[in-house]
Structure 1
């Protein structure tokens, strides 16, 4: 019992001076306890020992089992799947092998057995990607004492307990029931360096408890892996918090106390108009980015809150209301030199007295004509062209006896044949629109000239824009 006391005292010191935690990167320490069995038979020596692994699992005839707590171990995870293990055990030896098959076991008189061992183990759990099953292989050494008996005499020492160093090799397996508790079994071959101590196998079984790892903020993430160790957080964010629960950690969240969207750095957009609430002048009403999130019902570019005519489109210069045309001549009062007298567009709202259009009128027509806009590659008018066509129609109505040619031109982009057809279709589209709005078809002739008559260089964007045009000429 004196040696047992030394054994337990040594283990207490190991545990006391170790920051006992778990057996992997999160839990670098573990402690195990259980029972052990000692088998002197299958070790490849002379009788009463047998051949290597002979009757290795014959527990009934050869295993010495102490049915109480008889093995304690402490292990430290060192990294890279390696751990260092220290263990102590005790037993009673009653079976020491056998002589032939006639005597299944050789009995001795309850010899005391004590052992202290150290072992370096390699863990395979990570390699097999298992969190439950952890196979190990180990190598190490130790010191074992066995009370003198008929087969282990050391006459020179005169000591009742024969002790000798051993070289150990082990195979083990742990099944983890939970994060911290597992069932462990291990078989260890112990090769003795002295003849008076026979080599033998020692088998252990018991529970292993993993514990430790510092988690200051109590969020279940150990400090060494916790980017925010002082504040409870989420595993998805390496231990950092997401206060508003919007899936964006607080350090990257521009609005950490309000749930928001990733596209707005965690800030909310209540009305879903693409303008975050903090920058939205109308945060509860869906609006336009160009108006800081406020709506524009009539689409005139003036926010409803500032629009004097919110249901009728009008210019910002007139507070969102349309300009008046007092005399109804199609020329707005702001552009009408004779706002109270019906006039013509060509004469800026004043009555026209010239029978034939002057060059000034023709220039005005072409000024409008050059602003006729079509959909790309098509002969469909853009919406803003309707007012231009209306102005051209008004001018032509002022000269009912005059005939006109409508010419379509393109830039040089694309096939020449395609440009020719496109210019013809666009010229015809202008003519058809004018006819549909009251101009006699007999007065109008449409031509398409494609890319043949540029007025500017097609080598520049500005030049190509100038070349894409419609011209109206007086037919003489």
Structure 2
């Protein structure tokens, strides 16, 4: 009795002085060491169980009659271990011992009492105080097994408790549990009251900086106490969260960034941090005043347009068309053709002189090897006119069916086009088509005429 009253008095004296660091996910484990009192009186008057109705009062009758009804031993008599399981719920495993000398108002022999219980409690702290309150009431249910005078019985438990957090990792717990016995013959309905000191542990410190995650504003990055657990990597007195240059010591006026070249532009905004420059050019110099920074100006001492990297426009081929407008800047051309050379009738005639000598395997689209040099000559001429597209035409004589001749001419024209692409002519500059026997240039009645009609011709590609 003396020990239990001492804990109750101590709790009342410091009530409201607690530190708000209750059991939660950051301090999930707690152990409790304390005392318990067993009261068999205020459980409802009935003849159920081992005790007669004469030893019982109405439910909660004389609930606080410590002197007449409570059974207490003068030593530590209850130990529990609890684990926070999330969303305000806590699981507790508890064991207790006692001696029963008082059954209601009746004195009895010194009966040994043992119990083992499991409890699930829900903390009302956040609902009442908001997160972090020191006053931590709970409601819960559970079950267990109790032995009185070596006779055991199972119980269903309902409980209410108040935990008062007095320090960062400790507090007191006051709890009352109603235990309803299942065995009609051996069970004893009773209340078990307890008071104990709790110590919580297992605080989570993810980054290992000595500051619990619950108080660490940067829980995954080691930091300093003066910055609530956040780091100051460069040691300039500005924590990384507020430091625009967290890895380089800097000045508060520039949000923790340095100004190496002293041009009034902090390095993190200065594209030329080691050379004094102009604000309008993000801290870079412009020696020739053409609006292009020296670092990007290929002619830093001669003004020129940005489109030519700060240099005046050249005319490399000297054809009167500036390189910026010249589609063929290395080949003299005409203004009308955007600086590129124009294909003349003479060039087309020369191409066709070559193309008409291209030979194919008999009745096939396979180019004969002796025509490769001719095709190379054609390609060399085409490369002199890099912006000009060419159309490859295939023609046949009249021997054979129209459909066969048309197919053969298409395949031969395509074969020439494909070969030209393999020796350097871009495919998008070429098209091909076969016309069969539709466009003869000589009579098909003679061998010489038919020879002329079997041909490949080259013309300008339609735009």
TM-score by length of 1: 0.47
Q: Which has the higher contact order (CA 8 A, sep 6+)?
A: 2
TM-score by length of 2: 0.49
